[in-house]
């Protein structure tokens, strides 16, 4: 019962904070507009930790490495506690945990892309000029452009968004599931 309560706290506090830190990294990497309510929310929610970390971890290649390292650390803490609650802590493999953390961050990144695709599709129908539409377009544009060059528009409907959503699902189902299974076999 106590394990379930602790798992609930981890799932509602630590995991979403990891997602927000990773989202901050991706938004800055993809040069998404941050001068909007959504960007301000992400920055204000994570600044207390990211700004302190930037004192020790400088940006590299124009990337916000502090946010990425914090997301990695938070996910590793989350997975460590989750694994500790579910299995015996004896023989806890660090290499497996490091690999599994990286795989989980890639999974979260793919889910963030899928959420941006869904938001972009909905906003294109209901409110294409909202500030969130620019953020979603900035996230999806680098992934949609190669598909849009190859797939023609059918009756004013762009199917590249739908195809990218399916490709993301396939990536999660086949290679990412296989990699996660391999990483879990190290435990």
Selection from 152, 85, 91, 115 nearest residue 20 by Cα: 115
Q: What CA–CA distance (Å, rounded) separates 123 from 30?
A: 20
d(CA 59, CA 12): 29
DSSP-assigned beta bridge partners for residue 154? 157
Query: Strands (DSSP E) along 11-165, which ranges?
Result: none
Question: Has residue 67 got a pLDDT over 90?
Answer: yes
Q: What is the pLDDT of residues 4-52, one digit of tens each?
A: 888 899 999 999 999 999 999 999 999 998 898 999 999 999 999 999 9
The answer to whether the pTM exceeds 0.85 is: yes
Angle between helices 131-150 and 160-171 (to 10 degrees): 90
For residues 53 and 65, give the distance between their C-alpha atoms in angstroms, rounded to a whole number: 9
Asked whether residue 89 carries a pLDDT value surpassing 60, the answer given is no
């Amino acid at each position: 019962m106590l394990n379930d309560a602790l798992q609930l706290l981890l799932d509602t506090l630590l995991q979403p904070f990891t997602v927000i830190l990773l989202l901050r990294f991706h938004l800055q990497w993809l040069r998404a507009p941050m001068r909007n309510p959504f960007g301000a929310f992400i920055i204000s929610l994570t600044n207390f930790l990211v700004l302190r970390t930037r004192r020790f971890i400088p940006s590299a290649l124009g990337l916000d490495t502090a946010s990425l390292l914090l997301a990695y650390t938070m996910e590793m803490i989350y997975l460590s506690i989750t694994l500790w609650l579910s299995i015996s802590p004896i023989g806890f493999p660090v290499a497996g945990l490091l690999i599994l953390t990286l795989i989980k961050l890639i999974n979260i990144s793919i889910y963030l892309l899928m959420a941006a695709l869904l938001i972009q599709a909905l906003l294109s129908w209901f409110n294409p000029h909202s500030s969130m539409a620019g953020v979603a377009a900035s996230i999806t544009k680098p992934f949609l452009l190669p598909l849009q060059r190859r797939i023609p528009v059918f009756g004013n409907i762009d199917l590249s968004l739908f195809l990218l959503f399916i490709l993301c699902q396939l990536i999660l189902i086949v290679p990412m599931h296989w990699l996660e299974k391999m990483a879990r076999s190290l435990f």
